[in-house]
Structure 1
Amino acid sequence: MTDAIRIRAPKRFYAGLVLIGICLFVFWANHGMTLGTPRMMGPAMFPRILAVMIGISGAVLVLLSLNFDGEKLERFSIRGPFFVTLSIIAFSLTIRSMGMAVAGMLALTLSGFATPEARPREVLIFAAVMTVLSILLFHYFLGMSVKILDIPGTGIEF
């Protein structure tokens, strides 16, 4: 009789399950889209190919977690995912109405506090520098028609 299956690397095991979940979600999310052919790719081909590769990676991690010792699960903090998600929502709500200067600064500042080691002064300096670089890249170098700054009710618009 064989021994029961034992998870020897819990961190690797759960990471693999998350990747398999992402794969399944992508397949569910684009189920109505056409796959196309290798000569004429449809809108679902690239996401599905990536999903398959992610799913295979997840399956490999799960198998490795059963065969090799690895790290235990650490205590999970909600702080990182909370601030990163909040920054994405803030960016999406402000980019069109207030422009890249406000949206970029807001998103980068919020996401900077995802780590407990964040220092307000460093986060603000980083956010300002990255926002200026983003404006230069997207508006001036790439020529995208992204609004730079628009403060509603003041008439200030670039």
Structure 2
Amino acid sequence: MDTFEQNPGIKSADHIALRVADYDQSVRFYTGTLGFELETEWTLGEAAPGLRFAYVRLGSFKIEIIGDGQLTPAPATVDIPDHLSRSGFIHLCLRVENLNDTLAELRRRGVEVFVEPFDVEPISQHLALIKDNSGNVIELAQAFAS
């Protein structure tokens, strides 16, 4: 069987990129508030004038933060139906050990909860949604206890 019949040579997922309005504030949010580690920062010089880039890492997962320069802001997400009606990437999901404890700590750190905890029985998940400093939606997920 040809290797490419099932997988065209893809080894693993590497990162997701977020375009943000305030680069410094976003790096602080992901590192200081959510506990990611700043891996590296760079620019592309004349290829992307005025833009700054950073990788922030949580375990093996990375986010590429792209900030500064000219930005066309997307309309703010106002509720779950609005959030789920958008095309393209709509949120980032982070696995948590205890959703209520995580939300309590994030509230203590000044993070506003966008959607309070709710259960999704078909996938055995307890979920809540927050937004980062740029309005990007972050889903927090805890598997139901077995």
TM-score, length basis structure 1: 0.24
TM-score, length basis structure 2: 0.26
The structure with more radius of gyration = 1
Q: Which has the higher strand share?
A: 2
